[in-house]
Homo-oligomer: A and B are copies of this chain.
Amino acid sequence: MQDEMTLDRRLMLSGMLAATLPVATSSAIAQENTAEETDGNYVSVNGIRVHYLRYRATRPPIVLLHGWPAYSEEWRPVMDRLRGRFDLIAPDLRNFGKSDKPAGDEPAANCGPDILAADLLAFADRLGLKTFGIVSHDVGAYVAQTFARQHPERLSGLFFFNCPYNGIGNRWADAPHLLQTWYQYFNQQPFAAKLVGSSREACRHYIGHFLKAWSAGNPAAFDVVVEQWVDNFMRPHNLQGGFNWYISTNPGRQATIQGRASAVPVIRTPTKFFWGRLDPSIKAEWTDRLDEFFSDFDLSFCEDGGHFVNYERPDAASREIQTFFEGSRVNWKSVDA
């Protein structure tokens, strides 16, 4: 009897929540795929099994690409807020989360931007996404930029939080900034995964550091999920998987710092940046050269956000995503159901 009341109450609350969403289909959506939406789905593409979260809706699709040290779950607060407005799809990138890690525990240059962009193309094809938007930051922002240069016809728009791009140049290696970027080199060390993965406590110290220190606008943002993040990174191969991103991108990183990075085509896809002003890692003043790399962009700042604007300030983050992708600048040539 107690259980049934609890269940009724849960359904009532679910109905009330749905009623507050301003889209007609939301209550129908809320009733489908609950387990799938919570635990995720799998699809085999480009030689690996990719795990992804999806809040399905008969609406324009948006793919959300996470960073390091994170995984698809870092989009949960934004997805919860945008549910029903878009077809929201957050994959775990190769080597992250519950997606495959083909190199296992081996240090390997096996997941650079070109590989991850190829994964994304195959993933979009497999899901039947003809035209879609991308929301990204950090690692995901590298993938989004590479994809946008290779397949602009597939994109309706690009939304970035703090975005590592070639215009940062040698500022990555500014003497005071080396106190921030050491992890890009630590993560490449052959012992790094063994040290960080030596215990949950060790992992919590390391991963927890970034979640707190980089969330400079809201350092407590990840407090309630830090154990979930530790769970994720203590899964087999997940630490080395993420570290392999830094091994994969080291040649490009050095070229950028040394000012010998190859010239890249300007990205003409409509683009919005909503940059956390307080990010200690990818700094707000480094937006000064965006116009050399993006021809059609709008920039604004999340004044009380750091690196993880999506997690620190999910209301503002969701509002900006919605405004951009519902706005007239975005070009939805087709809408996938």
Chain A residues within 8 Å of B, Cβ to Cβ = 173, 175-176, 178-179, 181-186, 188-189, 191, 194-196, 198-199, 201-202, 205-206, 208-209, 250, 253-254, 257-258
Contact = CB atoms under 8 A, between A and B. Distances in A.
A253 B202 CA distance: 28
Given A173-B178, A179-B185, 7 more contacts: A173-B175, A175-B258, A176-B254, A179-B188, A183-B186, A198-B202, A199-B201
A191 B209 CA distance: 7
A19 to B, nearest CB: 45
Nearest to A196: B195
Contacts of A208: 191
Prevailing SS type, chain A contact patch:
helix
A254 B191 CA distance: 27
Given A195-B196, A254-B176, A189 B202 contact: no
A13 B208 CA distance: 55
Nearest to A258: B175
- Output the residue of A179, A205, A250 with the most chain B CB within 10 A: A205
B188 A185 contact: no
Given A173-B173, A175-B257, A182-B186, A202 B209 contact: no
Contact of A202 (B173, B175, B179, B195): B195
Nearest to A253: B175
Nearest to A182: B185
Contacts of A254: 175-176
Nearest to A259: B175
A258 B175 CA distance: 7
Contacts of A206: 191, 195
Contacts of A198: 198-199, 201-202, 205
Nearest to A202: B198
A183 B191 CA distance: 13
Q: Which 6 pairs of residues, A with B, have the shortest CB-CB distance?
A: A182-B185, A195-B205, A182-B182, A175-B257, A175-B254, A198-B202
A271 B178 CA distance: 33
Given A182-B182, A196-B195, A189 B209 contact: yes
A227 B188 CA distance: 25
A257 B173 CA distance: 10
26 contacts: A173-B173, A175-B253, A175-B258, A176-B254, A178-B178, A178-B181, A178-B184, A178-B185, A181-B185, A182-B182, A182-B184, A191-B205, A191-B208, A191-B209, A194-B205, A195-B195, A195-B196, A195-B202, A195-B206, A198-B198, A198-B201, A198-B202, A198-B205, A199-B199, A199-B202, A202-B202
A196 B205 CA distance: 9
Nearest to A208: B191
A191 B214 CA distance: 14
Contacts of A205: 191, 194-195, 198
A295 B182 CA distance: 36
A273 to B, nearest CB: 26
